[in-house]
Every structure is written in structure tokens, then in C-alpha cells.
Amino acid sequence: MNILVTGGAGFIGSHVVRLFVNRYPDYNIVNMDKLTYAGNLANLADVEERPNYTFVRADICDYERVLEILKEHKIEGIIHLAAESHVDRSIRDPFSFAQTNVMGTLSLLQAARNYWESLPEGYEGKRFYHISTDEVYGALDFDGTFFTEETKYAPHSPYSASKASSDHFVRAYHDTYGMPTIVTNCSNNYGPYQFPEKLIPLFINNIRRGKQLPVYGKGENVRDWLYVEDHARAIDIIFHRGKTADTYNIGGFNEWRNIDLIKVIIATVDRLLGNPEGASLSLIKYVTDRPGHDLRYAIDSSKLKEELGWEPSLQFEEGIERTVRWYLDNEAWMEQVTSGEYMRYYDEMYNNR
Ligand code: NAD
Ligand code: TYD
């Protein structure tokens, strides 16, 4: 199979590309990424020489170029992860979220439609798999309820509004044109290669550097955390066996209040660095809350377990230990990413194409 992964140089995308390249030597995996600040080919250094892997730098919003790439590589399956993904950035710059997440997804859908409808077999054997977030469902109270696949969309941030909109377009392409689509909504991911603007890598890095840890509001918001390789494994299963036009929620049944999670991170980093217990607790600084800050996310992923047998494989304690170790062991990656050096490098290399 020839598969296009969009956003494969980002956090989750790089784990998906790695899994598919290693697991399916007979597939051709084409990674199409614009290499924004969040895309980094160093995330894929271990697979870049593989014969079944190709990287193409392109913008999903560039319809003509996307169409060209689909044709050139005879793409049969698309796993769409490319997006602007950080809520705080979306509050500062909502337009770029509408542009990439809404218009970019639409451009990709339309290019896929144009290419696949031009083939004699049409949509037969094709799949458009859109990766989305639980944030489209809005926020839960502290009442023990969960987001299910039936929960109504109620996004609050420009990020989640743009993802919700893209989900609607994907479903519309199934209902209107018969495109074989699939959508999954996943909870917060954590693990290696996450850009250090997101809570977990930001805080690990700040603790290592003795910098303050900005806790929004009272630190009482709850997130449901899933190890990124478990998400990638779910994507593999759903890409191959998920029901066309269906939706699956993906989550780890692993809810943490931010402040409790932060204390676990502090304890783990201090222990691994050989600092006295609790040494970095004084770095915690409560700051003004994020506007529209969703109180609680919690995913019910029992449909995925019952229908396709997926379950998270990693206990949180092990996942967080592995994650902290990875960031501490990969200081050079962190330096490169926070210095912006890799951006200059790629711009020179690809001449801003
Ligand atoms: P990320 O920000 O780490 O990576 C995004 C990637 O997309 C980068 O490599 C970037 O260069 C690329 N990209 C951005 N704009 C592009 C464009 N116009 N054309 C081509 N490439 C472009 O994001 P992530 O955390 O890996 O998230 C990946 C996907 O998963 C997103 O769609 C996100 O909404 C979704 N998701 C993320 C989480 C999470 O916790 N991180 C949870 C659920 C769903
Ligand atoms: P984040 O990693 O940005 O993911 P999301 O907003 O998509 O859930 O944030 C996770 C939680 O941590 C969220 O409730 C906001 C909070 N947070 C802070 O308290 N301080 C920070 O510096 C960041 C980045 C996030």
C-alpha cells in the first residue's frame, strides 16, 4: 500500500511514521510535512534511510502540490495529522488555525477526491483517516462522566473549533461524495519528541534549567493522558480494521489534575537528576488562567476496546518515567528545538520551498 502521512515530522506523526515504516516493509510511507516550528526531521533520524520511506516538504493548503504528490506516489491511504496543535497559540493567532486546520484539511480532502475519482476503481481500496482531538467535545464537569462518540461537539478554543470544523468536513466528504473516511478523537498525548510548549516537556525542561513552572489558574483542570506509542498503535489498528465512516474515541482512562501531574513530574525529574526530594517544588508559580480553559477532559474508549481490541499497553508510572528519562537523555534535541537552529537549517536546505 502507498500511504501518505501528513504532519509526520511532528510529535504524534513521527511515532506513526516510525511504527508504519518498521512494521510494514511492503508499504511505501510518504511523509508530507511543511516543517513549521513544530516539525523536525530529527524526530525521524532513525528511519530516514529506509527504502520504504520518503519525505516531501509541502503545505497541505497548497492544493495543486498536494494533488501532484498524491498522483506521483499513487497514494491509496491518507493518515492526516498535519495541524496547528497548541491551544495557547490559537488564542494569540486564530487565523493560522483556521487556515491550516480547516482550509488545509479541505484542500487535502478535495485533492484526494479529485485523484481517487479519476481512477478506474474510484474509492475502492482507499481510506482517508483524519486524526482529531477530544477537545472538540468541549469540557466536562467533575461529575465522573466521559466523552463518548455520541457526545455533541461544543468546542471552546480557536484550536478545538478549527479541529471540530475539519472533522465536519471529513464526514461531509463521506456523506456527499462517498469518500471512505474515518475519524478518531484522542485525549492528551505524552512521550518523546513533543514540542516543549506543551505542559509535560515544557515543565521537564524548565525543572532541568531551574526555571519557573507556570501553572494556569489553580492547577485544578483535569486531562486524560495517553502514551504516544499507544496512540500510534491505535491508529495502526483503526487504519486497517476500523469501520468506514465511523468514529472512535481513543484514551487511556488516565485522568490527572494538572497540579498532581506536575508534582509527579517534579518528583521524577528531581530523583533522576539526583536532587534532594521536593527540591524543585518551589519552581511552581500560579499564573493567570488560560482564557476559556476547559475544566476536564475524559475519554470513554470502550467502543475501540470492544470492537477492535485496543487497550493502552503502558501504565502511567512507567510512561512518565520513560518520558522524563528521554528528555533528560536527549538534551541536544531540546537545545536544538528551543534554539530554533533546526528551523534555520531546514529553511536553508529546502530554500523555503
Ligand atoms: P505537532 O504540532 O507536534 O505536529 C504538527 C505537524 O504538522 C508538524 O510536523 C508541522 O510541521 C506539520 N504541519 C503544520 N502545518 C502544516 C501544513 N500547513 N502543511 C503540512 N504540514 C503541516 O502536533 P501533534 O501533537 O503531533 O498532533 C498531531 C495531530 O494530532 C493534530 O492533528 C492534533 O490536532 C491531533 N491530536 C493531538 C493530540 C496531542 O495531545 N498532541 C491529542 C489528540 C489529537
Ligand atoms: P497543554 O499541554 O497545552 O495541552 P491542552 O491544552 O491541549 O490540554 O496543557 C495541558 C494542561 O496544562 C492544560 O490544562 C493547560 C495546562 N498548562 C499549564 O498549567 N501551564 C502551562 O505552561 C501549559 C503549557 C499548560
In this predicted structure, the answer to whether residue 350 has a pLDDT above a threshold of 80 is: no
Residues with CB under 6 A from ligand 1: 6-7, 9-13, 33-36, 38-39, 59-61, 81-83, 85, 100, 104, 131, 133, 163, 186, 188-189, 195
In this predicted structure, the answer to whether residue 352 has a pLDDT above a threshold of 60 is: no
User: Which atom of ligand 1 is the closest one to the Cα of 39?
Assistant: 9
Which of 5, 30, 36, 107 has most ligand 1 atoms within 8 Å of CB, for mutation? 36
* Contact yes or no for 15/193 (Cβ under 8 A): yes
Cα–Cα dist 96/159, whole Å: 10
pLDDT tens per residue, range 27-38: 999 999 999 999
The mean of the pLDDT values for the chain is 96
Sequence spans of domains, the chain = 2-261+266-351
pLDDT tens per residue, range 50-88: 999 999 999 999 999 999 999 999 999 999 999 999 999
Distance 232 CA to ligand 1 centre (A): 13
What the block records as the C-alpha cell of 90 is: 490559537
Residue 353: per-residue pLDDT: 44
* Contact yes or no for 268/208 (Cβ under 8 A): no
Residue 283: per-residue pLDDT: 98
Question: Where is 214: in which H helix or E strand?
Answer: strand 213-216
* Contact yes or no for 101/83 (Cβ under 8 A): yes
Catalytic residue (one of 59, 76, 134, 300): 134
Percent of the chain with pLDDT over 90: 95
Cell 483517516 identifies what position? 129
pLDDT tens per residue, range 327-349: 999 999 999 998 877 777 777 76
User: Which atom of ligand 2 is the closest one to the Cα of 188?
Assistant: 8
State whether the Cα torsion 282-266-219-89 is positive or negative: positive
Distance 39 CA to ligand 1 centre (A): 8
pLDDT tens per residue, range 169-185: 999 999 999 999 999 99
Q: Is 202 in the pocket of ligand 2 (CB under 6 A)?
A: yes
Considering all CA atoms of the chain, what is the largest pairwise distance in Å, rounded to the nearest integer? 67
Average pLDDT over residues 108-113: 99
Distance 138 CA to ligand 2 centre (A): 15
What the block records as the C-alpha cell of 142 is: 467533575
- Residue 135 annotated as catalytic: yes
Distance 181 CA to ligand 2 centre (A): 30
Residue 145: per-residue pLDDT: 97
CA distances from residue 233 to 23, 109, 196, 237 in whole angstroms, order as listed: 11, 24, 23, 6
pLDDT tens per residue, range 284-337: 999 999 999 999 999 999 999 999 999 999 999 999 999 999 999 999 999 999
What is the pTM for the complete model shown? 0.97
* Contact yes or no for 200/265 (Cβ under 8 A): yes
Average pLDDT over residues 93-98: 97
Cell 503502558 identifies what position? 314
Residue 115: per-residue pLDDT: 98
Residue 344: per-residue pLDDT: 73
**CATH 3.40.50.720 fits domain 2-261+266-351:** yes
pLDDT tens per residue, range 176-221: 999 999 999 999 999 999 999 999 999 999 999 999 999 999 999 9
Task: Classify residue 282 by its DSSP letter.
Answer: G
- Residue 159 annotated as catalytic: yes
